[in-house]
Structure 1
């Protein structure tokens, strides 16, 4: 089934808007419960919801699809742990920038692992997005352990984006997403074992936050990303997803957590410009990238 060329992009934008709403919320929740416990509960709820809703889609994946989904989930789960551990140590804005560096790592990994040749316009867009992320997020920063953990998470996210672009096929988004959720939950559950297993959220507010991040920012967002990446190249997806800190800044301003500044406006404009650039990239330039990204291995 064919879709309008902009529909996957709009889906990713909706997903990143949801993700952008979670930075401050996550920091509040992990201040009251261990990181691994929060993630284990979050993704266990998400996995259960996905399995209840899409059992047939999971069954139809077959052995190869199940293995790929599990591998993708393990990679993403490690990224989640590293990012959230890092977020405990640094400001959400700095975390947003360091996480967004997957926009740089994605084309590098796609080139190294898949031998993809990126058009010059892609690297221009990567540069614009990186500059925009820096303006949005940084106002003087020391590179401490929290930053290194978050940069490591960005590498895992980039690997997830590249492999998801390679393995996500039409009609398999929901099944593949469900398997990924199960794997992520297992990775996070293992991380809780040193202190005796996961503890539940401590209060009603924490539960509400966990449920929002499990069902909307977890299961729903993963399903959307998996579907969208079946219809677009990995690097283009990564550039579109750098709008996450733009949405994070917008939510912060809207809810009185921050004040609108020229840095937000300029950074947001650069990120949106990068996205606009890859969206307008001529089909003849994008086609080889798309073909490589969806080649079966």
Structure 2
């Protein structure tokens, strides 16, 4: 096995831990935003993450340049805009439909990667994307899929998440990863504060209870600092399309954690969808030797 292939496998494995971290913290976030406005919660989550990331990236501050700042702002804008359109989408359609459509970024990524950066997509990875979409449908869908305003907003969300994955892979190879993540988190924090002050009923006058602090601290550490640092660093060694396939494991881990910790019921159809998604991640790892 070559060193490059070993790095790729390691990157894919660590990206899988990111998907699991997002899935496991989903229930915590759901509980927290029952009493905390969404953008206010995002402000505290990304604000704490920014502070932590500042100390992690402190020794690299001398390497800050215009390119790093611009790339970080662009990635942060993609990320926040995806969160925003997803949140507004939830106001107009079912969460299960939003979860499914958001997951369609796994199909958007290979096409965007080709058209923007002329990145060739291996056939097995493209097949894995299709399998993952079908698995997502079985796992998440519980209502009729139409194209209303909420669905349209969520399609934009999926497109934005796809752009975030693609450009993360591109920019992580060009600038300091730690600083790139730092400026990305700063951007999301600032935009979250602006949106919260503009749209939320309150930003700071909150119920600062155990549920709030647990959700903020855990998501800031694991689902934000760890997740985006690992994603940004590891996408240097794997493709954007494989990253998107691996990230479809997020709803799988969320469903499993919800079943274990929250007593949520999984139907046989949902279990079948989860198995298909796991199968899709394995397909994406396959290597086929070219015929001589």
Normalised by the size of structure 2, how large is the TM-score? 0.88
Q: CA deviation at 1:20?
A: 0.5
What does 1:111-130 align with in structure 2 at a 5 Å threshold?
111-130=114-133
Q: CA deviation at 1:201?
A: 4.1
Number of residue equivalences: 285
Aligned with residue 40 of structure 1, among 36, 43, 50: 43
1:109 aligns with 2:112: yes
Alignment match, 1:293: none
Distance 1:63 1:282, change over 3 A: farther
1:254 aligns with 2:260: yes
**Contact preservation (8 Å) 1:129, 1:271:** yes
Alignment match, 1:199: 204
1:18 aligns with 2:21: yes
Q: CA deviation at 1:156?
A: 0.7
CA distance in 1 between partners of 2:288 and 2:223 (Å): 32
CA distance in 2 between partners of 1:283 and 1:10 (Å): 22
**Contact preservation (8 Å) 1:46, 1:215:** yes
1:138 aligns with 2:117: no
**Contact preservation (8 Å) 1:87, 1:146:** yes
Unaligned runs of 5+ in 2: none
Q: CA deviation at 1:171?
A: 8.2
Unaligned runs of 5+ in 1: 286-297
Q: Runs of 4 or more off by more than 4 Å in structure 1?
A: 88-92
Secondary structure class of the residue paired with 2:232: helix
1:27 aligns with 2:30: yes
Alignment match, 2:215: 209
Distance 1:145 1:215, change over 3 A: farther
Alignment match, 2:180: 176
Alignment match, 2:151: 147
CA distance in 2 between partners of 1:78 and 1:15 (Å): 20
Normalised by the size of structure 1, how large is the TM-score? 0.87
Q: CA deviation at 1:68?
A: 0.8
Which has the higher relative contact order, 1 or 2, with Cα contacts under 8 A spaced 6 or more apart?
Answer: 2
**Contact preservation (8 Å) 1:125, 1:275:** yes
Q: C-alpha root-mean-square deviation of aligned residues, in Å?
A: 2.4
**Contact preservation (8 Å) 1:95, 1:147:** yes
